[in-house]
Structure 1
Amino acid sequence: MTTALLSCAGRTVGRYSYLPSARDGRPFLHPVTTLAGTPVTEERPGDHIHHLGASIAVPDVAGYNFWGGRTFVRDQGPTELDNHGVQRHLGWKLRDQDGFVEELSWEADGTELLREHRTVAVTGLSDTAWALDLSFSLTNRGTTGLSIGSPATNGRPGAGYGGFFWRAPKGPTAPVVFGAEADGEEAVHGRAADWVALAGNGWTLVFAGATEETRNDPWFVRSTEYPGVGSSLAADRRLVVAAGATVVRRVVTVVADGTLDRDTADAHVRKVVTA
């Protein structure tokens, strides 16, 4: 696995692995840390060995698995299938210590399904907080339409994950979940909101949709079972991508030391999200 480092205020805050191995299948960010050095991502945890830090992961692209692990099959449940695709790094358009622009090919069975343009940028916010700005565009390279799905669209209620996903580290107690107007995992999960926050032991992550389309996507939130947050491309219905069409999403994540309250989290989001 080949890696690139991301820095903020002279400190390394992220490592991006961009040439995936056969078992990984996709590039990912890990470790990501606060400015004080506290890790805020987890890689291949025992509860879900296909969780890879922060990444773009989709369990169903035209029937192919770009998430890892088993595939949820309607009326059958999680099933081991030979249907895994790979996100192949094609090259850099730009790369330096505070970000990069990357081209990727989403491939399965020797065919390119999607071409991705990915941009990652690091921004300092304060002495104790910084932001990771990640945008991606997915273009259907085929001559016919394809659709993106999730376990929820395939018959598993509440499991609408797929798209941007961040696996946080598991601690002795579950992290606190809150949003701009709600508190708790049940109140935030499966709903659209400007931002959601996950506050663990000595760290807080605030995830904000940075475009109208992204803010309209429901959040996938887990805290009790494991700590993770995602922005769902296909929460309850399949997302159809016509031939030649492009899907664009952008999520900005505030990475902070300590436990932020709602007002401070909101203030950080307002600094980095202007759209």
Structure 2
Amino acid sequence: MTATALLSCAGRPVGRYTYLPDTAGRPYLHPVTTLGGTPVTEERPADHLHHLGASVAVPDVAGRNFWGGRTFVRGRGPTELDNHGVQRHLGWKLCDPDGFVQELSWEAEGGELLREHRTVATAALSGTAWALDLSFSLTNPGSTDLSIGSPATNGRPGAGYGGFFWRAPKEAAPPAVFSASAAGEEAVHGRAADWVALCGDGWSLVFAGATDETRRDPWFVRTAEYPGVGSSLAAAERLPVPAGATLVRRIVTVVADGRLDRAGAAALVRRAVTA
């Protein structure tokens, strides 16, 4: 079953949400644009064909790959494995132009590992900025405990990606990245911060963790190799999800025309998180 939702904000189209189970394995947002129409996501870029705009992607759920591409195996490195899972669309609880509520089943090898409740909403912040509010609740519906991992927990230092992830467009020059207290990929990557800004040619994205748990997740940041920002569910240690337990994360992303400075990013984040 395919599924599509079109998002708008302040009367303007700002995003397309697509689920194509036979080709993507997970739903994702692309294209996402600023209010002025500038694209701020990239789909299937040549450097990483499994990067799909903005999505929730995890490379290791009990050994199954819900990220795409190769799996990092301790002692072997990136390895092609037949271990890929799919986030199956179960249905909409709500689907309006300014947001939706979706139920998903994370399945691999014919069984369900996680059940997800996902909420996405848009909110206008100014004439040049809007916010994408995405939250996801992952429940282990089985009788067996499981855990979430990453290449970092499997032996690749610094590669703690997995969770919310946003692939931005690759431009001639790498984007600037900064938080409230640091600047540059090396200074921001792998550290927790209330928000992280990524600024390219005529656009800015500001990512904010909007719950206590999300704020404790370190940020995964890339600018030199490719432009992308995500939250890390398992940055250094595997994240347990006991039988019957639920984990919740919420990321609010400011999408703005122009290049924000630190003060401008902080001001928009404050408005976005309380909008």
Do 1:193 and 1:215's aligned partners in 2 also have CA atoms closer than 8 Å? yes
Residue in 1 aligned with 2:54? 54
Note the C-alpha offset of 1:273. 1.8
- Counterpart amino acid of 1:13? V
Q: Given the two structures, how large is their TM-score scaled by the length of structure 1?
A: 0.98
Residue in 2 aligned with 1:79? 79
Which string of whole-angstrom CA distances, capped at 9 and with x for unpartnered residues, describes residues 52-86 of structure 1?
A: 00000000000000000000000000000000000
Residue in 2 aligned with 1:115? 115
Note the C-alpha offset of 1:10. 1.0
Which string of whole-angstrom CA distances, capped at 9 and with x for unpartnered residues, describes residues 224-245 of structure 1?
A: 0000000000000000000000
Residue in 2 aligned with 1:14? 15
Give the Cα separation in 1 of the matches to 2:181 and 2:212: 18
Q: Given the two structures, how large is their TM-score scaled by the length of structure 2?
A: 0.98
Stretch moving more, 1-10 or 25-34: 1-10
1:42 equivalent to 2:48? Answer no
Residue in 2 aligned with 1:202? 202
Give the Cα separation in 1 of the matches to 2:80 and 2:17: 28
Matches within 5 A, 1:29-178: 29-178=29-178
Give the Cα separation in 1 of the matches to 2:21 and 2:169: 22
Give the Cα separation in 1 of the matches to 2:42 and 2:111: 31
Note the C-alpha offset of 1:21. 3.0
Note the C-alpha offset of 1:93. 0.7
Give the Cα separation in 1 of the matches to 2:242 and 2:80: 29
Give the Cα separation in 2 of the matches to 1:11 and 1:173: 29
Note the C-alpha offset of 1:114. 0.2
- Counterpart amino acid of 1:10? G
- Give the paired residue count: 274
Residue in 1 aligned with 2:272? 272
Do 2:197 and 2:204's aligned partners in 1 also have CA atoms closer than 8 Å? yes
Which string of whole-angstrom CA distances, capped at 9 and with x for unpartnered residues, describes residues 131-189 of structure 1?
A: 00000000001101000000000000000000000000000000000101111111100
Residue in 1 aligned with 2:5? 4
Give the Cα separation in 2 of the matches to 1:22 and 1:191: 35
Do 1:34 and 1:256's aligned partners in 2 also have CA atoms closer than 8 Å? yes
Do 1:118 and 1:135's aligned partners in 2 also have CA atoms closer than 8 Å? yes
- Counterpart amino acid of 2:10? A
Deviating beyond 4 angstroms after TM superposition, the runs of 4 or more aligned structure 1 residues are: none
Which string of whole-angstrom CA distances, capped at 9 and with x for unpartnered residues, describes residues 180-227 of structure 1?
A: 111111110000000000000000000000001000000000000000
- Counterpart amino acid of 2:185? E
Which string of whole-angstrom CA distances, capped at 9 and with x for unpartnered residues, describes residues 7-57 of structure 1?
A: 011111000002x23231000000000000000000000000000000000
Note the C-alpha offset of 1:274. 4.2
- Counterpart amino acid of 1:268? L
Note the C-alpha offset of 1:272. 2.0
Give the Cα separation in 2 of the matches to 1:213 and 1:119: 17
Give the Cα separation in 1 of the matches to 2:139 and 2:119: 15
- Counterpart amino acid of 2:255? V
- Counterpart amino acid of 2:6? L
Measured on the aligned residues, the alpha-carbon RMSD in Å equals 1.0
Note the C-alpha offset of 1:3. 1.7
SS state of the match for residue 265, structure 1? helix
Do 2:21 and 2:86's aligned partners in 1 also have CA atoms closer than 8 Å? no
**Equivalent pairs: percent with the same residue?**
79
- Counterpart amino acid of 1:72? F
SS state of the match for residue 268, structure 2? helix
Residue in 2 aligned with 1:222? 222
